[in-house]
Chain A
Amino acid sequence: MLRLLSQQLRLNERDLHDTSTTQTDGSSFNASMQTSPASMINQYKFEEEEEDADTKDIFVTVDNPESHVTAIETYITYRVETKTTRSEFDSSEFEVRRRYQDFLWLKGRLEEAHPTLIVHPLPEKFVMKGMVERFNEDFIETRRRALHKFLNKIAEHPIFSSSEDFKIFLTAGSGELTSHKKQGPGFLSRMGETVKAVAAAVRGVRNRPQEFTDMQEYAEAFSQKISSLDKVTQRIVREQKEYLEELKECGPTYALWSQSEQELAEPLKNVAGCVDNCCKETEEQVKHLNDHLIPVLHEYVLCADTLKAVLRRRDNIQADFEGKTEALATKKADRDAMRDELDKAEDRLEWANNALKTDWTRWQKVMRTDLRSAFIDTAERNVSYYEKCLAVWESFLQSQRTDAEGNGNVDSS
């Protein structure tokens, strides 16, 4: 049933593209979205959605960053590889190169088409203050990982993964992509949308249903908590790094001492070695925290912002409907046209609400899975760190015990 749904949606998007080439009026852009599957969307259910590995039929990888230099600019492209068994794809393997701008475009298209669905965030556009410049290796690798996650989240989403724009993103050659990008709703229609959004925001929503207010409160609270976790984790990394700096001086001091000693030289050297080994383990543990937990927490900080944005857009759609209801009640002229618009606004609102509710539940599940596995991963890594250090010191004890047994407790040997 989901497939049918998504096919319908894709049909819709094609309509979108077709109508937008002939119309510059923003309203007809809206119209085509609301015609057919409103009722079907209302039955958008998740029962069928068991996304285990067996049913996964599309695999996307982002890797191999490369630098490109032109007369005007320097930029990075990433290789995007797709393997799929889906019938709507012409082939089973695709390889294209995409730059960050292209990802931004895709995200924008998905948000436009589905304003109340939750799109997984992209890594930030600009470099954070205090970080090194854009083409630093670590930055590129962090961004690559985030882009990889982004595409996989899209691929796992029941609606987004059937998006035409998504398919083109994955398969089109760069020339084809550029021309497809140009086909999107024109500047004027986008302007029209923005004007409407601002007007709706200004009007404000009057009767927001409690469930959406609850969602807003949740989004606020979640945003705070996840930001705190992000900050706490970053602080842990900082403290660990400083601890490591100090620990690095201990081993050499024991080694220096061993040079003045005779009987004690061996155990001191041994201890120096142990401390150095523990340093290495600490270094790896910090790196793991940095590379795995922090990016996930950061993603969900951005997700929290997405949640708030989605709720705002829903509010605007409701405000628009409320505005039109009011207009119908007060104005006398053009009642038929206005009633027509009102019906469309109502459909639009219902559709938006249901899509949001379903996707919200879906998002919560995904969030729970992601964060749970990130924390489990961190805990396991910490256990492993302590286990390795434990082994280091136990081998030292072992060596000292066998020494004592071999030489007797008193004799110098």
Chain B
Amino acid sequence: MADSGSEDIAVIGNTDLTPSESENNLKNTMVEKGTSLLKKMEISVAEAEKRTGKNAVNMQETYTVYLIETRPVDAASEETNPVPDSLWRRYSEFELLRNYLLVTYPFAVVPPLPEKRAEFVWHKLSADNMDPDFVERRRVGLENFLLRVASHPALSSDKIFYLFLTEENGWKETVFETGFQAKADSRLKALNATFRVKNPDKRFVEMKHYGDELQSVISQLLRVRARAADRLYGVYKVHGNYGRVFSEWSAIEKEMGDGLQSAGHHMDAYAASVDDILEEEEHYADQLKEYLFYSDALRTVCRKHELTQYELEMAVQDLTSKKQQREELATGTIRTFSLKGMTSKLFGQETPEQREAKLKMLETQIEEGEELVKERNSECDEFVKSAWVDIERFKEQKDHDLRESLISYAIMQISMCKKGIQVWNNAKECFNKM
């Protein structure tokens, strides 16, 4: 359902999915075409470039921009090589897009952006945002983000998203015109406030705990993996010293010289091979990182549920107390302590006219309150329904993706072992000739 972007009220979104349609969406694994934008359009983040310019406070700054290329799917099959449409975006614009989506689709588990700063680094990787390896991995992460949004059942049809991909100029203004910023600020405040909810949906409570556990365990895994990678690097590189010493030693030997020399070359190759191995492992780490950040999005949705539930409970509480006040006023009995009651006792009863006026006001308030409760109730229900659909979709996606990641990790290990076998067999051949 397209969001025209000009309305202030948050559209809950695709709440009328039939069960079979939900199932259909569930079957669509991420980054595959379904009822999504990807059916019509190919999207990629093709390049990254450094730019310098003046920032908001008129100071020189260097930043990186990323080239987004889009191409209609049909055109690609008809012509040999149609030139794609393209525009440049920087990271902060991606952030703006994501914040907009978060506010506009509160029920959705919004795909995360790649990390702003390099974390979980091991010694070889620089923590510098300008480092080419970091920029490259970020490019991949940004492309992944766009593809995920483009294949999300609700998010993919958003107009602002479409404009992000197609309109370079004036996009920022368009986003701000939606007025999402105001909503964002109040929402943020509400989300960060502490409140106690009496009757949250148990599934959401469990999901929040799961989100906490997922974040904790993936963080730990990333840390441990980075340390192990660091050590593995050391092991491989020290073997390079064998290369050097074998070479020097071969110079003083007659029969052993050739064998030693060639064995030394294989030791050098062994030492060098670790760079590729660890580069590949970084991709695996990036896949884990995506789900680390996803866990945050998951928890946000659960928190939003708590917020809507809380607002409902507050409205109910308010209505109940108003009804009670009306009853007391109507029957003249004061069941609960109230300042009004005390003052009326002290300063005398109200006149019948005053009471009449008060009752009338209360009636109106109760009427409004009942409307509010009804509204909030349906809001809550809608939210729970659509959020749970997206959470189920997310679960399927996560299970599929992470299983694929584990498989790709195993494939990496296998490749590393095969390289090791080859190198040491070659070295053995050389040693045989010593």
Contact = CB atoms under 8 A, between A and B. Distances in A.
A382 B410 CA distance: 20
A57 interface: no
Interface in A88-123: none
Interface stretch (B132-140, B189-197, B221-229): B221-229
Interface in B303-343: none
Contacts of A409: 400
Interface string A318-335: 000000000000000000
Given A232-B245, A375-B263, A383-B428, A263 B238 contact: no
Nearest to B423: A382
Contact of B421 (A222, A225, A390): A390
Contacts of A278: 413
A208 interface: no
Interface in B410-434: 410-411, 413-414, 417-418, 420-421, 424-425, 427-428, 431-432, 434
A217 to B, nearest CB: 8
Interface stretch (B40-48, B173-181, B248-256, B350-358): B248-256
Nearest to A226: B249
Interface string A214-231: 000010011001101100
A219 B372 CA distance: 96
Contacts of B406: 267-268, 271, 400
Contacts of A372: 256, 259, 431-432, 434
A264 B224 contact: no
Contacts of A267: 403, 406-407
A376 B431 CA distance: 6
Contacts of A239: 231, 234-235, 238
B240 to A, nearest CB: 9
Interface string A111-140: 000000000000000000000000000000
B239 interface: yes
Given A229-B245, A379-B427, A390-B417, A410 B235 contact: no
A410 B227 contact: no
B252 A382 contact: no
A254 interface: yes
Given A253-B220, A393-B417, A400-B403, A243 B234 contact: yes
Given A229-B245, A232-B242, A400 B407 contact: yes
B420 A386 contact: yes
A229 B234 CA distance: 17
Given A257-B217, A393-B414, A380 B428 contact: yes
A382 B424 contact: yes
A247 interface: yes
A410 B400 CA distance: 8
B231 A243 contact: yes
Contacts of A375: 263, 427, 431, 434
A368 interface: yes
Contacts of A274: 410, 413
Contacts of B432: 372, 376
Contacts of B221: 250, 253-254, 257
Given A243-B235, A375-B431, A253 B403 contact: no
Contacts of A376: 428, 431-432
B342 to A, nearest CB: 54
Nearest to B251: A221
Given A243-B234, A250-B224, A218 B414 contact: no
Contact of A394 (B29, B396, B409, B414): B414
Contacts of A191: none
B410 to A, nearest CB: 5
B366 to A, nearest CB: 46
Contacts of B418: 386, 390
A387 interface: yes
B213 A260 contact: yes
Contacts of B420: 382-383, 385-386
A232 B238 contact: yes
B232 interface: yes
A242 interface: yes
B20 to A, nearest CB: 15
B256 A368 contact: yes
A313 B343 CA distance: 119
Contact of A397 (B259, B263, B410): B410
A389 interface: yes
Contacts of B230: 246
B232 A243 contact: yes
A240 B231 CA distance: 8
A254 B255 CA distance: 51
B278 interface: no
A166 to B, nearest CB: 30
Nearest to A243: B231
Contacts of A249: 224, 228
A379 B434 contact: no
B269 interface: no
B347 to A, nearest CB: 62
A375 B434 CA distance: 10
A165 B324 CA distance: 114
Interface of B: 26-27, 29, 210, 213-214, 217-218, 220-221, 224-225, 227-228, 230-232, 234-235, 238-239, 241-242, 245, 248-249, 252, 255-256, 259, 263, 396, 398-400, 402-403, 406-407, 409-411, 413-414, 417-418, 420-421, 424-425, 427-428, 431-432, 434
7 contacts: A232-B241, A235-B241, A236-B238, A243-B234, A387-B417, A390-B421, A393-B410
